[in-house]
Amino acid sequence: MINKNDTDRQLDKAMDESGKKVEASLLQPREGAGKYWWETFLRGHISEINRRFSQAKALYITAPAKAPVDLFSYIREAALCFEIGRYLPAIILASHSVELILERDQRMQASRALVRHDGERVTLCSRNLVGARDLGLPVEALLSPGEKLDQDTSIIFAARRDRVAQGNVSDWFRAISEYLPTVEPDALDQLEKAQRFVVTWFNNSPNVRAGEP
């Protein structure tokens, strides 16, 4: 049921001070505006970017041509987003790098005891993480200190991913695309856990053999 008071509040937010309806539009930037915008952004944030760059581990692969392009692109892009302070895409990409492994690992594909979306895609839920751990995947890399994995409780990594997927992130922002300071450590935590999971899985998975992508 739609709450009339909630609807009235939404309408109030869509009106400016003169009582006119607030509308969105797409504008074509002027020639050279991108160069000016990015130069200004980088000058104003370079010290923060450098600090975050030192926090996000640099991903190194001995034979890049033999690595899964999509998987390592996801996790590297997540780090880049974190470094320039784009925390929402950083969390999304870091989470999906883990989901991609859950979907494609041969041990996971062979299991019939997993929760699947539309009968195919393995979802990032507690039951599947328990199953992945029992099958030998490095799920401990996704746990916070003192955190335990069981089928009845969602770990922080999965809960954070679910929050983004459900659109429950409005309290992360003070304005459009302007994050509150408290979001940065959450994004870093999500990135570091995903990085550990991806690297440990890649180095130890029976899926990955020398000389094969």
Ranges of each domain in the chain: 42-204
Query: Which of 31-45, 83-97, 102-116, 190-204 comes out lowest in average pLDDT?
Result: 102-116
pTM given for the model: 0.83
pLDDT tens digit string along 127-159?
889 999 999 999 999 999 999 998 888 999 999
What end-to-end distance do the CA atoms of the chain give, in Å?
51
Q: Which secondary structure element, helix H or strand E, spans residue 54, and what is its range?
A: helix 33-55
Asked if residue 34 has pLDDT above 60, the reply is yes
Contact between residue 52 and residue 85 where contact means Cβ atoms under 8 Å apart: yes
Quick one: how far is CA 69 from the chain centroid? 17
- At residue 121, φ and ψ (nearest 5 deg) are -75, 130
Tokens found for residue 210: 């020398």
Read off the pLDDT of residues 162-186 as tens digits, 9 standing for 90 and up: 999 999 999 999 999 999 999 999 9
Q: How confident is the model over 58-101, as pLDDT tens digits?
A: 888 898 888 889 999 999 999 999 999 999 999 999 999 999 99
For the chain, helix, strand, coil in percent to 5 are 55, 5, 35
Res 2 pLDDT > 50: no
Residue 152, helix vs strand vs coil? coil
Give residue 211's pLDDT band: very low, low, confident or very high (50, 70, 90). very low
H helix intervals, 84-151: 87-104, 106-110, 126-134
Percent of all residues in the chain with a pLDDT value above 90, rounded to a whole number: 59
pLDDT at 213: 38
| Cα–Cα distance for residue pair 202/130, rounded to 1 Å | 19
3-state secondary structure of 39: helix
Which candidate, 131, 129, 152, places its Cα nearest to that of 141? 129
pLDDT average, residue stretch 18-33: 87
Residues constituting the chain: 213
What's the chain's average pLDDT? Answer: 86
Q: Among 80, 99, 104, which residue's Cα sits nearest to residue 90?
A: 80
- Rounded average pLDDT over 106-126: 77
